[in-house]
Amino acid sequence: MKIVIANGTQQAEFILEMFKSHENKIIVINSSRQLAKEITNKEHVSVIVGSPWRSFILEEADVYGADVFIALCEKDTDNYACCILAKRMFNVKKCICVVSNPNNVELYKKLGIDSVVSSTYLLAQSIKSESSVESLIKTLSLENNKIMVMETPVLTNYAIANKRIMDINFPKYASIAAIYRNYQMIIPSGQVVIYPKDTLLIVCDPIDQNRILDYVKRAEITSGEVKTSILRVGEKPTDAPKKGKK
Amino acid sequence: MKNKILIVGCGRLGASIANHENEMGGNVIVIDEDESSFDRLDDSFSGFKITGDATDLAILESAYIKTASEIIITTGNDNVNLFLAHLAAQRYQVPEVYVRFSDPEKSLLISGMNIRAIYPFELSLNKFIALENGGDNK
């Protein structure tokens, strides 16, 4: 892979360290002569000195057709300009734009940048998912919170325990992606029986998260009547499960 | 308020355009980060002055970008100017977008969009060539 790293200090070194190998050709650009020197001394790579939003610098660095372009400038608009230039004029396959203002994530994407990353945004997302549901359930959101992957254990009193997947009438809006049992992963089909102590990996839309958890956690006897209340930090607790039921 | 003219950056060029448009009777709104830059405006300037970072959508929207008929982008940073021009043309579809770039190569990144650019460098160069070739243009 041909990887371009534009500006950045520790992040640049870290990424460089991570991708350093024979298969990868890494191009480093830095607008500060001082930092360029430091990176060269530490990582033993040649660094092109210049502003990565100037096209002659990208030309000098031979960025043409690179697989990944990572913009790590301090200012969001500088990163925007680098990525747009790399994309339009240098046919870079994928541009990753790092921003400090989380509001710029959606905005920059709409303006045509493939991937926009904000550490604040990611931090907020992970705090949200860490603290969202009861401690037993781990969640992971993908594609900027458009897809939710949840890990939930099966307890003995659950209605779905000891039944075949084809018999439990699993809701259409979610899917069991995998079952983790005795340190082994099982790809589920209709015939597979869900046992207590299994861990289910469920994929769904984030808005259905509470709804599907309610479904999974239905107890055997009361089936569907008693619902586990789920506390989410920073969200109204009752909205999601009701949606679309009627 | 009709025919709103939004001017981003109240430097020498931005302020001069603001004064000119104000005299022509336009409804002018000027945005700049630095409040003291509004000192460049004439005493007779009757438009709005907004202090804030124009790359912040809330500031732009408080300056009526959604209904502006014209936007003139003259901040001192080409990358900010490029971003704002793309934003005005693509997201807000402002009918007339003008932008000033120090770097003429930025023209490559606005082709095909409804953006009109001013390059002081090229203007100066052309003027020099005209002056050198006999100075008939004044």
Q: Are residues A33 and A113 in the same domain?
A: yes
Q: Which domain holds residue A19?
A: 2-119
Chain B contacts of A101, Cβ < 8 Å?
Answer: 56
Each residue's pLDDT tens digit, B70-111: 999 999 999 999 999 999 999 999 999 999 999 999 999 999
Contact (Cβ atoms closer than 8 angstroms) between residue A191 and residue A212:
no
Instruction: Identify the residue among B8, B53, B55, B121 best suited for mutation to test binding to A, counting A beta carbons within 10 A and taking the highest.
Output: B55
Across the strands, what pairs with A3? A26, A68
Can you read off the two tokens belonging to residue A100?
Answer: 């400090």
Partner-chain contact A55 B108, CB within 8 Å: yes
| Amino acid residing at A105 | V
What does residue A134 show for φ and ψ, rounded to 5 degrees? -50, 155
Q: Coil, helix or strand for A73? A: coil
What integer pLDDT is reported at residue B92 of this predicted model? 94
Return mean pLDDT, chain A.
Answer: 81
The nearest CA of chain B is from the CA of A198 a distance in Å of 48
Which has the minimum average pLDDT: A78-92, A193-207, A223-237, B81-95? A223-237
Domain count, chain B: 1
Give the model confidence (pLDDT) of B10-60 as tens digits: 999 999 999 999 999 999 999 999 999 999 999 999 999 999 999 999 999
Of A67, A68, A95, A90, nearest in space to A80 by CA: A95
CA angle B49, B11, B137 (to 5 degrees): 130
**pLDDT at residue B77, as a whole number:** 94
**Residues pairing with B51 in the sheet:** B32
Residue at B138 is within a domain = no
Q: What residues contact residue B11 under an 8 Å CB cut-off, 6+ apart?
A: B32, B37, B40, B74, B75, B76
User: Domain range holding B8?
Assistant: 4-132
> Is the Cβ–Cβ distance between A105 and A121 less than 8 Å?
yes
Q: Is residue A83 part of a domain?
A: yes
3-class SS of residue A23: coil
Beta carbons of A107 and B82 less than 8 Å apart: no
Range of lowest pLDDT (A79-93, A147-161, B67-81): A147-161
Is A88 in Cβ contact with B109 (below 8 Å)? yes
A238 or B107, greater pLDDT = B107
Q: Which residue of A has its CA nearest to B84?
A: A77
Question: Is the pLDDT score of A219 beyond 80?
Answer: no
Is-contact B52 B33, C-beta < 8 A? Answer: yes
Residue A172, SS3 per DSSP: coil
When divided into structural domains, chain A yields a total of: 2
Contacts of B109 in chain A (CB under 8 A): 81, 84-85, 88-89
CATH code assigned at A237: 3.30.70.1450
Q: Is B95 helix (H, G, I), strand (E, B) or coil?
A: coil
A156 with A110, same domain: the answer is: no
The amino acid that residue A69 corresponds to is F
B58 lies in some domain: yes
Q: Is residue A228 scored above 70 in pLDDT?
A: no
Q: Specify if B137 maps to a domain.
A: no
| Residue A244: predicted pLDDT | 45
Torsion on CA atoms A156, A171, A164, A151, rounded to nearest 10: -50
User: At B105, which CATH number?
Assistant: 3.40.50.720
What was the pLDDT predicted at B1? 65
Residues A178 and A235 in one domain: yes
Three-state SS at A102: coil
Q: Which of B55, B57, B103 sits opposite A77 (nearest CB)?
A: B55
Q: Are residues A58 and A154 in the same domain?
A: no
Q: Is residue B26 part of a domain?
A: yes
pLDDT at A222: 46
Q: Per DSSP, what are the bridge partners of residue A178?
A: A201
**Does A18 map to a domain?**
yes
**Residue B24 domain-assigned?**
yes
From the centroid of its chain, how far is CA B75?
7
pLDDT of residue B66: 93
Q: Is A98 found in the same domain as A37?
A: yes
pTM value is 0.72
Q: What is the CATH number of the domain that holds A27?
A: 3.40.50.720
| Residues of chain B neighbouring A111 (CB-CB closer than 8 A) | 83, 86-87, 90-91
**Using 50, 70 and 90 to split pLDDT, how confident is the model at A129?**
low
Max mean pLDDT range (A8-12, A45-49, A159-163, B78-82): B78-82
Say whether B79 and A53 touch across the interface (CB within 8 A). Answer: yes
Residue B72 lies in a domain: yes
Checking if the pLDDT of B138 tops 70, the result is no
Contact B79 A81 (CB under 8 A): yes
Distance separating alpha carbons of residues B125 and A54, to the nearest angstrom: 20
* B50 to A14, B13, B28, B35, B138: CA distances (angstroms): 41, 17, 11, 8, 39
- Same domain for A137 and A224, yes or no, is yes
List of chain B residues whose C-beta atoms are within 8 Å of the C-beta of residue A56 = 105
Please say which residue of A119, A152, A187 terminates a domain.
Answer: A119
**Is B85 inside a domain boundary?**
yes
Q: A78 and B57 in contact by Cβ < 8 A?
A: no
